[in-house]
Amino acid sequence: MNNLPLILIGVYSILATFPVERKCGSNMENLWLDVVLVVDNSEGMTNDGLAAISSKLASIFSPAQIGTNPSNSKTTRIGMVTYNSNATVDAHLNHNWSKNDGMLDFYPMMSKISEDSTSFVKYGLQAAQDLLLSESYGSDRSHYKKMIIVCASTYKGTGKDDPVPVAIGVKARGIKILTIAYDQGNNKNVEELARISSPGLSFKQDASIKQIQEALLEVNCFCPSTKWHQYRTPYQSYGTCIQPVNLPSTWTAANNSCHYLWNNSYLASEFTPEKSQFIIEIVKTTDKMDDAYHIGLLRIDGEWYWDQPCGRVSVGNYENWAYNFPSQSEDLSVGMAFKAIGDPLKWKNVEPLWQTSGYVCETAACDTDNYCDASFGDY
């Protein structure tokens, strides 16, 4: 009888020390983005349709802190554009959206339905981009991730009205485009809107609030600068970023250098075979970098650990030592990864002040749990 709690504690502590890759933050209350809503108000949408879109967008964004707040950086600004054959800015990014019983109300600000049946998403996109260029870039929120959400019922535009070139330019600036297609009985519209959206950000009107919130949280999970690569597998993005450094260094120098590279950065960890594979692929495409690099492995009192920003974690189930490694030799107290042509990637232990090599640093992604200040990085 008395044994049960003890067994549970035992199981729990094993799980708790098992190294786990950091996940992207998932707290909508801490969303920090600059967003422009782009809503098609051409005749076919109807006023009921606009009201439904408004309430859906309100449900999506209501948990977030909207506006700016000097004592809280994790806030989201929302601008609004409606369009038909041309576009109208209904709300600037600094618009003070009020909440009623905790719910945002977008509808009163939205231009009413137009008598115009033409609808060119190009002009909506262009107006949204102009808002971001003039009110977000160059402002004290230039380091906030930017996003355009397009809600449209029809997809029109070829030649000079084609939205694709504008969308390409928007995305090249790092602005994400999410589309929600309100199809009026034809799926073609959904497929066509997907041509302007960023990968994975094309939705239909029946997408759930939760699905779209998850997409926003994913957009809000990004690396501090273009030198960092976000760790992703085909199935998931993680909340860690890695950066290869091609400067031959000892492990000790590499460790120090990683600690100064960014806030809370450290030598990279390889908790899983997928992570090892991801890192080696990036190393391969890095100029002047051999397939060998220092990682955050170190030995203390005979045990191997991964160096982490909040202490160290034991090397878990995944170990990838080369044949005859780790060597028990006292001097070889830190670890690096290496790959001979044709062989799989392996780890070996080396002397911290002797063997030089490039190295790979790691840091937490910027996300709803981790606000990244503009004072770091190469924005």
By CB under 6 A, name the binding residues for ligand NAG: 85-86, 96, 98, 252, 255-256, 259, 263-264, 298, 372-373, 375-376
Return the number of the residue (152 or 364) whose C-beta is nearest ligand NAG: 364
**Could you count the other beta carbons within 10 Å of the beta carbon of residue 323?**
6
Return the number of the residue (358 or 377) whose C-beta is nearest ligand NAG: 377
Return the number of the residue (17 or 256) whose C-beta is nearest ligand NAG: 256
Q: How far is the CB of 256 from ligand NAG (least distance, A)?
A: 4
Q: What angle do CA 141, 145, 147 make, to 5 degrees?
A: 115
Cα 33 from chain centre: 11
Cα 288 from chain centre: 28
Return the number of the residue (178 or 372) whose C-beta is nearest ligand NAG: 372
Residue whose token pair is 């959904």: 190
CB-closest chain residue to ligand NAG: 373
Q: How far is the CB of 375 from ligand NAG (least distance, A)?
A: 6
Query: How many alpha carbons fall within 13 Å on the CB side of residue 5?
Result: 1
Measured distance CA(338)–CA(348) in Å, rounded: 8
Return the number of the residue (285 or 375) whose C-beta is nearest ligand NAG: 375
Alpha carbon separation from 299 to 92, 101, 293, 327, 356 (Å, rounded): 55, 55, 17, 11, 18
Torsion of CA 25, 29, 33, 35, to 10 degrees: 130
Measured distance CA(198)–CA(205) in Å, rounded: 17
Return the number of the residue (116 or 281) whose C-beta is nearest ligand NAG: 116
Q: How far is the CB of 126 from ligand NAG (least distance, A)?
A: 11
Q: How far is the CB of 177 from ligand NAG (least distance, A)?
A: 22
Q: How far is the CB of 260 from ligand NAG (least distance, A)?
A: 7
Return the number of the residue (86 or 205) whose C-beta is nearest ligand NAG: 86
Q: How far is the CB of 232 from ligand NAG (least distance, A)?
A: 22
Q: How far is the CB of 246 from ligand NAG (least distance, A)?
A: 20
Q: What is the DSSP letter of 365?
A: P
Rounded to the nearest 10 degrees, the angle between the axes of helix 209-219 and helix 47-61 is: 60
